[in-house]
Structure 1
Amino acid sequence: MHVVILAEFAAASGGAEKVAVESARGLAEAGARVTYIQAVDGPVDPLLDHPRLRRVALALPDVWSLPAWRGAVTGIWNAEAARRLAAALDALPEPVDCLHLHQWSRAFSPAVLPVLLARPAPLVLTLHDYFLACPNGVYYRFDRDEPCTVSPMSMSCLAAPCDPKSRLHKAVRVGRAASLRIARGRESLDVIHVCDGSLARMTGWLGTERLRHHRIDNPVRVVHGAPAEPARGDAVAYIGRLTVEKGADLVAEAARRAGLPALFVGAGPLAEPLRVQGAEVIGWRTPAEVGAILRARARAVCAPSRWYETGPLTIYEALAQGIPAIASTRSGAAEKVRHGETGLVIEPEVEALDQAFRLLRDDAVVERLGRAAHAAYWKAPPTLEAHADALLGLYHRLADEYFMRHCTQSESAERDRTVAALR
Structure 2
Amino acid sequence: MRLILVNDVSTVRGGATKVALQCLEASKDAGLTCAILVGDDGEGLKPQFAGIRTVALGERPLRDGPTFTDVFAKNYNRRAFEAMEGLLQESEEETVVHVHGWSQILSPSIFYALAKHEVKVIVTAHDFFLNCPNGGLINFHSGDVCHIKPLSAACLATNCDKRNYFHKLWRFRRTLTQWGVGEEFWSRVGIVLVHEEMEAYLRYGPLRHFTTLRTPTAPLTPGPVEVWRNRRIVFLGRMCWEKGVRTLADALNKTGRTATLIGRGPLLVEMQRALPHCFVPGWLSDEEVARLAGEARVFIMPSRMPEPYGLVAAEALMSGIPVIVSSSALIATEVANNGAGLVFDSGDAASLADQLAATDDDDLMRRLSEAAFSLGQRIAPSRAEWARRMVDIYMGRSSFSAL
* Fold-level similarity (TM above 0.5): yes
Local SS of the residue matching 2:190: strand
Map of 2:125 onto structure 1: 127
Q: CA deviation at 1:284?
A: 1.8
- Could you report, residue by residue, the CA deviation over 1:134-187 in whole angstroms, capped at 9, with x for unpaired residues? 111111111212222311111111111111111221121111011001124521
Q: CA deviation at 1:12?
A: 1.7
For the 8 Å contact 1:64–1:71, the answer to whether it is kept is no
Local SS of the residue matching 1:290: helix
Map of 1:420 onto structure 2: none
Cα gap change, 1:167/1:108 in structure 2, threshold over 3 Å: closer, same or farther?
A: same
The whole-number CA distance in structure 2 between the counterparts of 1:223 and 1:358 is: 24
Higher radius of gyration, 1 or 2 = 1
Map of 1:268 onto structure 2: 265
Map of 1:284 onto structure 2: 283
The whole-number CA distance in structure 2 between the counterparts of 1:59 and 1:339 is: 46
Map of 1:314 onto structure 2: 312
Cα gap change, 1:11/1:39 in structure 2, threshold over 3 Å: closer, same or farther?
A: same
Q: CA deviation at 1:330?
A: 1.3
Map of 1:39 onto structure 2: 39
Map of 1:383 onto structure 2: 382
The whole-number CA distance in structure 2 between the counterparts of 1:28 and 1:125 is: 19
Map of 2:251 onto structure 1: 254
Map of 1:191 onto structure 2: 191
For the 8 Å contact 1:339–1:345, the answer to whether it is kept is no
Kindly report which structure 2 residues correspond to 1:337-376, keeping only aligned pairs within 5 A, or say none: 337-339=335-337, 341-348=339-346, 349-376=348-375
Unaligned runs of 5+ residues in structure 2 are none
Q: CA deviation at 1:222?
A: 3.6
The whole-number CA distance in structure 2 between the counterparts of 1:334 and 1:176 is: 31
Mean Cα deviation higher: 49-58 or 243-252 = 49-58
Local SS of the residue matching 1:34: strand
Map of 1:2 onto structure 2: 2
Cα gap change, 1:249/1:116 in structure 2, threshold over 3 Å: closer, same or farther?
A: same
User: Which of 241, 246, 264 is the equivalent residue of 1:244?
Assistant: 241
Q: Note if 1:104 corresponds to 2:102.
A: yes
User: Which of 156, 168, 179 is the equivalent residue of 2:154?
Assistant: 156
Map of 1:21 onto structure 2: 21
Q: How many pairs does the alignment contain?
A: 395
Letter in 2 for 1:332: L
For the 8 Å contact 2:2–2:33, the answer to whether it is kept is yes
For the 8 Å contact 1:241–1:267, the answer to whether it is kept is yes
For the 8 Å contact 2:122–2:192, the answer to whether it is kept is yes
Cα gap change, 1:168/1:223 in structure 2, threshold over 3 Å: closer, same or farther?
A: closer
- Could you report, residue by residue, the CA deviation over 1:244-275 in whole angstroms, capped at 9, with x for unpaired residues? 22211122222333443121111223222322
Q: Note if 1:84 corresponds to 2:93.
A: no
Q: CA deviation at 1:5?
A: 1.5
The whole-number CA distance in structure 1 between the counterparts of 2:68 and 2:141 is: 23
Cα gap change, 1:380/1:325 in structure 2, threshold over 3 Å: closer, same or farther?
A: closer
Q: CA deviation at 1:67?
A: 6.0
Mean Cα deviation higher: 28-37 or 384-393 = 28-37
Cα gap change, 1:2/1:336 in structure 2, threshold over 3 Å: closer, same or farther?
A: farther
Q: CA deviation at 1:33?
A: 4.0
Mean Cα deviation higher: 103-112 or 115-124 = 115-124
Cα gap change, 1:139/1:379 in structure 2, threshold over 3 Å: closer, same or farther?
A: closer
For the 8 Å contact 2:220–2:315, the answer to whether it is kept is no
Map of 2:174 onto structure 1: 176
Map of 1:323 onto structure 2: 321
Q: Note if 1:69 corresponds to 2:59.
A: no
The whole-number CA distance in structure 1 between the counterparts of 2:130 and 2:249 is: 33
The whole-number CA distance in structure 2 between the counterparts of 1:389 and 1:236 is: 36
Map of 1:214 onto structure 2: 211
The whole-number CA distance in structure 1 between the counterparts of 2:286 and 2:26 is: 17
The whole-number CA distance in structure 2 between the counterparts of 1:363 and 1:120 is: 59
Letter in 2 for 1:151: K
Cα gap change, 1:104/1:259 in structure 2, threshold over 3 Å: closer, same or farther?
A: same
Q: CA deviation at 1:302?
A: 1.0
Map of 2:395 onto structure 1: 396
Structure in which a larger fraction of residues adopt helix: 1
Map of 1:12 onto structure 2: 12
Q: CA deviation at 1:27?
A: 3.5
The whole-number CA distance in structure 1 between the counterparts of 2:176 and 2:362 is: 53
The whole-number CA distance in structure 1 between the counterparts of 2:64 and 2:304 is: 28
Cα gap change, 1:287/1:45 in structure 2, threshold over 3 Å: closer, same or farther?
A: farther
Q: CA deviation at 1:377?
A: 1.7
Q: CA deviation at 1:336?
A: 4.1
For the 8 Å contact 1:186–1:210, the answer to whether it is kept is no
Cα gap change, 1:173/1:31 in structure 2, threshold over 3 Å: closer, same or farther?
A: same
Kindly report which structure 2 residues correspond to 1:43-58, keeping only aligned pairs within 5 A, or say none: 43-44=43-44, 49=48, 54-58=53-57
For the 8 Å contact 1:9–1:42, the answer to whether it is kept is yes
Mean Cα deviation higher: 13-22 or 340-349 = 340-349
Cα gap change, 1:321/1:365 in structure 2, threshold over 3 Å: closer, same or farther?
A: same
Cα gap change, 1:356/1:292 in structure 2, threshold over 3 Å: closer, same or farther?
A: same
Cα gap change, 1:295/1:389 in structure 2, threshold over 3 Å: closer, same or farther?
A: same
Cα gap change, 1:341/1:261 in structure 2, threshold over 3 Å: closer, same or farther?
A: same
The whole-number CA distance in structure 2 between the counterparts of 1:88 and 1:331 is: 38
Letter in 1 for 2:96: C
For the 8 Å contact 2:125–2:193, the answer to whether it is kept is yes
Q: CA deviation at 1:127?
A: 1.1
